[in-house]
Amino acid sequence: MRDYRQPGRAVSATVQPGSPQALHLIAMSELAGKHIVLGLTGGIACYKAAELCRSLVKQGATVQVVMTEAAAQFITPVTLQALSGRPVYTSQWDAREGNNMAHINLSREADAILVAPCSADFVAKLLHGVADELLSLMCLARPIERVPLLVAPAMNREMWTHPATRRNFAQLEADGATVLGVGSGDQACGETGDGRMLEPDEITEDLIAFFQPKPLVGRRVLVSAGPTFEALDPVRGITNLSSGKMGFAIARAAREAGAQVTVVAGPVHLPTPRGVARVDVRSALQMHAACMREAEMADVFVATAAVADWRPAAAADHKIKKDGSGQPPALSFVENPDILADIAQGPRSRAGALFCVGFAAESHDLLAHAQAKRARKGVPLLVGNIGPATFGQDDNQLLLVDEAGSRELPRASKLALARQLVAQIGQRLPKKVTP
């Protein structure tokens, strides 16, 4: 049996547990302990497989590359051997295997088989159980119940939309494989459309998500994230330091947990998590309208947004300038609607159809303020944190407050905390009744 332990990801003695450096190292090891067989089939997208292999290794996985003869026409085994740090297999008759059964040995040792790129020809082989070379033979011989198969399609747009290809991928999914999506854009042939292989970081994120627990399958989750901006005039406004990172991490974690996720985002500069629908808003009124609308279809609402409590009664039509008097302009304010309270006290929440989670960003006395806010908002779960210590950061620490008391989640990356919170939400939800 081979030893797949990573050779020395040494951590400096100066890196302290819980420090930003330690949290970064943990975040870069999402696939630690996983052994991935990366299969390459013929196609120009093989050039992306080099970066994909590198990405998987950076995330802590060990990677065993298996290539078809056609794949070797586009990228050399030497390249993949250098990036994976392991000999590449190309033939079912490989003499390096003592029993001459590479298709058995490699498939038994894998935590997953990922075929990227997966050509139209190869998916047809998989569908019909054709096993005329090592990679297809290995996929057929794998123990289905414990070695999942994931495929990342890559082909010309006409091949991708052809009825035969659509049938093949649909049946492959019905047979238990996971078919990742495709990208859209310029293709090597000069045409433009769907069928490009996903980018390496997208596939890596999908693979990480695949291994996460799935407590929210069949659920719809709504997340509000980021600050709001309340205009004073065309160029100035009232906002806060919320980056939206915690809310976007929760959206990603909920999607990883199997949910259909929508994030309503204030003005933030963050990429949308894979597979998450996004609604961009600016002001508290816009966020209120969007959340009220989306909440009608949600099973869970997580209100992480740092919504402005007040807005100017009227925004000036032109930039407010100094007049030389030394006196500030006279401004009047009105209170913004309470998004969380309005949703938590709505009929769907009262009927138990919508589970609401609030967030409290405080500067002091976190437990007392969080308990008071939970009671005031009427939510079953309130998550507290110290705003100045988390705004804009990649890490956080949380305090969960419910009717039974409180529980601390120690400092960790926001994604790690988001996954813990999602697990807690999943435990609190009533069992979903299926027809």
- Grouped pLDDT means (10 residues each) for the chain, 435 residues: 40 50 61 97 96 97 96 96 96 83 89 97 94 94 95 96 96 96 90 94 96 96 97 92 94 98 97 96 98 97 95 90 85 94 94 94 82 92 81 87 92 95 94 60
Helix (H/G/I), strand (E/B), else coil: 267? coil
Query: For residue 397, is it within any domain?
Result: yes
Query: For residue 394, is it within any domain?
Result: yes
pLDDT at 8: 36
Residue in 53, 118, 139, 189 annotated catalytic: 189
pLDDT at 101: 86
Query: For residue 320, is it within any domain?
Result: no
For residue 282, what are the CA distances in angstroms to 7, 287, 308, 331, 378?
48, 7, 11, 21, 26
Whether residues 133 and 236 share a domain: the answer is no
pLDDT at 27: 58
Q: Find the CATH number of the domain harbouring 81.
A: 3.40.50.1950
Number of H helices, E strands in the chain: 16, 19
Compute CA 325 distance to the chain's CA centroid, rounded to the nearest angstrom: 53
Whether residues 265 and 205 share a domain: the answer is no
Task: Identify the domain boundary among 187, 210, 233.
Answer: 210
Whether residues 179 and 275 share a domain: the answer is no
pLDDT at 19: 54
Whether residues 193 and 262 share a domain: the answer is no
Query: For residue 9, is it within any domain?
Result: no
Question: Cα Rg for the chain, rounded, in angstroms?
Answer: 26
**Phi, then psi, of 302 in degrees rounded to 5:** -115, 110
Distance CA 36, CA 51 (A): 15
Enter the pTM of the model.
0.87
Query: For residue 8, is it within any domain?
Result: no
Residue recorded with tokens 């009533």? 430
Whether residues 139 and 267 share a domain: the answer is no
Whether residues 47 and 113 share a domain: the answer is yes
pLDDT at 2: 42
Q: Find the CATH number of the domain harbouring 395.
A: 3.40.50.10300
Distance CA 16, CA 132 (A): 52
Query: For residue 215, is it within any domain?
Result: no
Query: For residue 143, is it within any domain?
Result: yes
Task: Identify the domain boundary among 210, 237, 252.
Answer: 210
Residue recorded with tokens 């305090």? 399
Whether residues 109 and 253 share a domain: the answer is no
Distance CA 195, CA 157 (A): 5
Query: For residue 418, is it within any domain?
Result: yes
Whether residues 241 and 340 share a domain: the answer is yes
Whether residues 206 and 224 share a domain: the answer is no
pLDDT at 44: 95
- Cis bond leading into 227, ω under 30°? no
The tally of domains found in the chain comes to 2
For helices 46-58 and 77-84, what crossing angle results, to 10°? 10
Q: Which amino acid is at 400?
A: L
Whether residues 163 and 298 share a domain: the answer is no
Whether residues 113 and 193 share a domain: the answer is yes
- Average per-residue pLDDT in the chain? 90
Q: How far apart are the first and last CA of the chain?
A: 46
Instruction: For 132-165, write each residue's pLDDT tens digit.
Output: 999 999 999 999 999 999 999 999 999 999 999 9
pLDDT at 402: 92
Task: Identify the domain boundary among 176, 210, 244.
Answer: 210
Whether residues 31 and 150 share a domain: the answer is yes
- Pairing label, strands 230-231, 237-238: antiparallel
Residue recorded with tokens 């890596």? 204
Owning domain of residue 100: 22-210
Active site residue 46: no
